A and B are shown apart, each in its own frame.
Chain A
Amino acid sequence: MALLQIAEPGESAAPHEHRLAVGIDLGTTNSLVATVRSGMSVVLNDERGRPLLPSIVRYAAGGEIEVGYVAQSHQASDPRNTVVSAKRFMGRGRKDIAHVEMLPYDFIDAEGMVKLKTAQGIKSPVEVSAEVLKVLRHRAEASLGGELTGVVITVPAYFDDAQRQATKDAARLAGLNLLRLLNEPTAAAIAYGLDNGAEGVYAVFDLGGGTFDVSILRLSKGVFEVMATGGDSALGGDDFDHRVFCWIIEQAGLAPLSPHDVRLLQVRAREAKEYLSQHDEAPITVKLGSGEYVDVTLTTDIFTEITRTLVQKTLVPTRKALRDAGLAAEDIKGVVMVGGSTRMPQIQHAVGEFFRQEPLNNLDPDKVVALGAAIQANLLAGNRSAGDDWLLLDVIPLSLGLETMGGLVEKVIPRNSTIPIARAQEFTTYKDGQTALAVHVVQGERELVSDCRSLARFELRGIPPMVAGAARIRVSFQVDADGLLSVTAREQTTGHEARIEVKPSYGLSDDEIAAMLKDSFSHASDDAFRRALREAQVEAQRLIEAVASALKDDAELLSAEERSYIDNAIVRLQAAVMGDDRRAIDQAMDALSKGTNEFAARRMNKNVSKALAGKKIDQIGLDA
């Protein structure tokens, strides 16, 4: 027997050894861990048989760290030190978090990502998430009886680079070997695809508590290809609860409520909604703190009526994703339902009607993501058997681009490109003798930098001085299989290089992503107008620079009167550039151009005579 076996990379040392691998659904509200056991994907329960782990971490004053149900029980008594929904803060700055003032935490706005002041010191959302991951890791190791080889962690498909990076960091902090970050809808499709032996194009409809995600995937001959993904990150089950809440207030004719009564009615609203998934009507009776009684009955018909617009809202991104995939509803072979909110009959009905077929519901919508992640983890860990081999081709959810002159975005990689992917774009210098170039990487669908999310900034220095437009700077983007970006910039003539792993410069809220996606089409004409304005501004700035540079060299060619006319025109153009009237800019540019025509002609003459002055007569052919 060999004491030491040396294995080739990619091959296992002992062919029959089963590597322990798990899939983790790191959720906003709850997290789960699953594994493949005897060929079946199963969720691993805690010692009390519960599958879910509330994604809640408490940093108690005594020094202990509590995670899950224990932490949840202290949520009311120790709100400051009990962190709920840390996923919402991952890769986010303070100003990016919705309703930050309503949250009970002591936020510190650190570079790149917020941090929270707790009884155990300052904690970042990455550390909080790592605590959740550690508990799931221990649960898995206790249950499987050994150390984990690797994990797959799921992220929402719309997660941007900063949020993916933060999730990856949390895994590292929890001591996990991250095999891959996997998009949640893709994970759900894997769970269905393998269980049901599916072939064809599928839609994954994922309606959670606060977000909506839709993906179109093609499954064929063992390849899962994501064709398009979209969503609305400010639409979820909570919005349905809110409609019911408002309806109760209206029906009962209630006066302004105390915070306690608001919470009470919110809970009742959600219960009524859930009750209606199985029944035709839900009685709502509440005794409020004010002493008032509420006694109303919510019927299915009323609920359908008051939530109709919300249901319709889910179909907008669905249509868009279909369009991105170049498909029609008839082309979809099956619709996978994910997320507890898809239990609502109204959603089931609308989806069924839109795709003209019954949606697939045979897997628990709360578990399906973790189950799929486990299957992918099992494959990546190398536990594959014959006939149990497939490939996943995923896409990047949001376009990546660079800031160009005037705050415009030049898209380098469009959304829904299959990853890994690389693209390069060439840029040049804007001023004579420019030796540095600032590179600003952004993510989003809009045309203006200010409307997209800033991912990173870096500078390429040491460009040899050349005239404007002569340098050739090639900026290359590489997105890896986890959807993470790295950028390099290289001056082509000298080979001078700057390289960066993109680390987020600040975060962006889910609301902003949803708004970004929505705005990219509803403001298209507005963008076009602003784009034209920006272009005029850039053009004007260029003219001013050119004239200023000419004045510096050849001011003596002008009379005092001519000079003052030009100076005047420059000032007027500068003023116009500050405003947003494109016509005014055009007019001021015309005036400056006209005023400098004669000057340009004289400069040309001077330069020609200078060139001639240095040469002998016979060299210019006048000696005949």
Chain B
Amino acid sequence: MTTFPLDFSADYFALFGLARAQGIDAAALETRFRDIQAQVHPDKHAQGSEANQRLAMQWATRVNEAYQTLKSPLARARYLLQLQGHDAQVESNTSMPMEFLVAQMELREAVAEARVGADDTALDGLRRTLVSEMKGEYQRLQELIDTRQDFPVAAELVRQLMFQEKLLHEIDDALEAVLA
């Protein structure tokens, strides 16, 4: 009987042998992910008993979920905050600084306008600005969590970044519609 030498109750960081931090070694995460999947994936147990195949599926599912969570900086931050007992309250807490909301609304209008006008240059410009802005914010998020351990402020930044990720997606959709 094949065994799975892993602890199902371990948190995602422990699963991949990583320290609990927002700043992670992406290459190490990927290598560990592949190593673990190479052991637990159902394809590796195709000739095993039915119980074993089921177990393999459960493990592979958990490892996929863990990898997806840690790979994305936003999902990783939410998960970290949750582990720290500071839920980011993404569904319930919708309060944002007025300044941020106004800026977001203006950006959204600009995207809608560029989309209607089929202006892919404008969309590209908006995208670049947003991406560079978010890059700085992700750095600040890492500092807030890892260095200053200011979880309430980090939670607020997570909520803002979720807004911005959504906007980024809208810009990509608009670009695609314009280019098609």
Contacts and interface: CB of A to CB of B under 8 A. Distances in A.
B43 A180 contact: yes
Contacts of B173: 521, 524
A478 B43 contact: no
Given A422-B61, A521-B173, A522-B177, A9 B48 contact: yes
Interface in A358-403: 379-382, 391-393
B180 A316 contact: yes
B149 to A, nearest CB: 30
A9 B171 CA distance: 51
A566 B67 CA distance: 55
A21 to B, nearest CB: 10
A9 B37 contact: no
Contact of B65 (A380, A381, A422, A480): A422
B49 interface: yes
Contact of B177 (A10, A222, A422, A521): A521
Interface in A180-195: 180
B46 A480 contact: no
Contacts of A478: 57, 61
A481 B1 contact: no
A481 B64 contact: no
A221 interface: yes
Contacts of A421: 61, 64-65
Contacts of B44: 391
Contacts of B52: 9-10
A10 B39 CA distance: 13
A10 B45 contact: yes
A33 to B, nearest CB: 19
B68 A417 contact: yes
Contact of A418 (B48, B57, B64): B64
B150 interface: no
A139 interface: no
B164 to A, nearest CB: 16
Contact of A320 (B42, B65, B170, B176): B176
A247 to B, nearest CB: 25
Contacts of A221: 34
B107 interface: no
A12 interface: yes
Interface string A295-320: 00000000000000000000010011
A422 to B, nearest CB: 5
Nearest to B39: A391
Secondary structure call for the A interface: mixed
Query: Size class of A's contact patch?
Result: 35 or more
A525 interface: yes
B60 interface: yes
A543 interface: no
B10 interface: no
A9 B49 CA distance: 6
Contacts of A323: 172, 176
Interface in A415-448: 417-422
A223 interface: yes
B43 A380 contact: yes
Contacts of B60: 420, 481
Contacts of B179: 316, 319
A323 B171 CA distance: 12
A392 B46 CA distance: 13
A382 B2 CA distance: 14
B47 A10 contact: yes
Contact of B43 (A391, A417, A524): A391
Interface string A7-43: 0111110000000000000000000000000000000
Interface string B93-109: 00000000000000000
Contacts of B172: 323
B176 A521 contact: yes
A234 interface: no
Which residue among A222, A393, A522 has the maximum number of chain B CB atoms within 10 Å of its CB? Answer: A393
A314 B60 CA distance: 34
Contacts of A223: 34, 37-38
Interface in A80-101: none
B78 interface: no
Interface string B160-180: 000000000010111011011
B37 A481 contact: no
Interface string A519-530: 001101100000
B42 A481 contact: yes
Interface in B46-70: 46-49, 52, 57, 60-61, 64-65, 67-68
Contacts of A379: 43
Contacts of A522: 177, 180
B76 interface: no
Contacts of A480: 42, 57
Interface in A200-232: 220-223
Nearest to A222: B38
Contacts of A316: 176, 179-180
Contact of B37 (A12, A179, A382, A393): A393
B41 interface: yes
Nearest to A323: B172
B45 to A, nearest CB: 6
B159 interface: no
B62 to A, nearest CB: 8
Contacts of A380: 43, 46-47
B34 A12 contact: no
Nearest to A482: B42
A402 to B, nearest CB: 16
B68 A391 contact: no
A594 to B, nearest CB: 26
A420 B61 contact: yes
Interface in B129-151: none
Contacts of A11: 47
Nearest to A392: B43
Contacts of B176: 316, 319-320, 323, 521
Nearest to B62: A422
A521 B49 CA distance: 44
A469 to B, nearest CB: 13
Interface in A219-260: 220-223
A420 B44 CA distance: 13
A568 B46 CA distance: 66
20 contacts: A9-B1, A9-B2, A10-B2, A10-B52, A12-B47, A180-B46, A316-B176, A320-B176, A323-B176, A381-B47, A391-B43, A418-B64, A419-B64, A420-B42, A420-B64, A478-B57, A480-B42, A521-B173, A522-B180, A525-B115
Kindly list the 10 A-B residue pairs having the minimum CB-CB distance in the complex, ordered from nearest.
Answer: A10-B48, A9-B49, A380-B46, A481-B42, A9-B48, A420-B61, A422-B61, A382-B47, A418-B64, A223-B34
Given A180-B43, A316-B176, 19 more contacts: A10-B2, A10-B45, A10-B49, A11-B47, A12-B47, A222-B38, A223-B37, A316-B179, A319-B176, A380-B47, A417-B64, A418-B67, A422-B61, A478-B57, A480-B57, A481-B43, A481-B57, A524-B170, A524-B173
